[in-house]
Amino acid sequence: MASTLKGQIVAPQDVFSSYGSPAGVDLGAQATTGDGRTFRYMKAGGTALVPGKLYQASAEDTSNFQALAASAAAIGATQITLTSSVTLTANQLAGGFLVVTVTPGQGYTYQIAGNTAVSAAAGAVITLNDPLIVALTTSSRLDVIKNPYDGLVVNPTTATSAPVGVAVFAVNAGSYGWVQTHGPVALLADEAVVVGQPVAASAA
């Protein structure tokens, strides 16, 4: 498979593949086939992908991952210790994002490198790829977002996360492959589409 680390190019035939392991490509890596189409590398959820269907990120965990409190952390810190009780497996959030939603630090988004495991308890440590720009205090509040390309599911009638791409191949459940995010693609519609009119994720 062509590497997405050198030139961000993937051979057109390689998007029609299912990989049992990450194959050395980061989840969410973006690549083009050089013909106007753009793709993202992803991991399928518990069901094999269906070509031509729209997929969303795995459902947001609003009860476990929002409005979290943490210990104070200085400018330049790359580790955040949560004081809120959460349940996480080791590195479940790797490749995802930490968003500061309540000041100090409000409005900043940081990519997550990894996290420690914890079960319904405080003390989880989240490691960031980049250091804090603004110090956090115990008044700060955080949302954490898992990598949106980890565990894709078909876009449901009632969306539970954001749409992330269109399946172009029947990637096996729990396996890795590509979804398309830009350019010409076959895409299932639930009614006639009028030329020149905008489309949106279906609620049906």
Q: E strands within 45-108?
A: 54-56, 79-81, 86-88, 97-102
Residue 104 tokens read as: 């100090």
Return the amino acid letter for 195.
V
For 52, other C-beta atoms within 10 Å of its C-beta total 13
Q: Give the HSE-up count for residue 7: Cα atoms under 13 Å, Cβ half-sphere.
A: 7
Return the amino acid letter for 95.
G
Q: CB neighbours of 163 closer than 8 A, spacing ≥ 6?
A: 54, 55, 56, 155, 201
The string of pLDDT tens digits covering residues 2-12 is 334 444 788 88
The string of pLDDT tens digits covering residues 74-101 is 999 999 999 999 999 999 999 999 999 9
How far is the C-alpha of 56 from the C-alpha of 45, rounded, in Å? 10
The string of pLDDT tens digits covering residues 134-149 is 999 999 999 999 999 9
Q: Is the pLDDT of residue 111 over 90?
A: yes
DSSP 146-165: --TTEEEEEPPSS-SS-EEE
Residue 178 tokens read as: 């590509």
Q: What is the pLDDT of residue 176?
A: 97
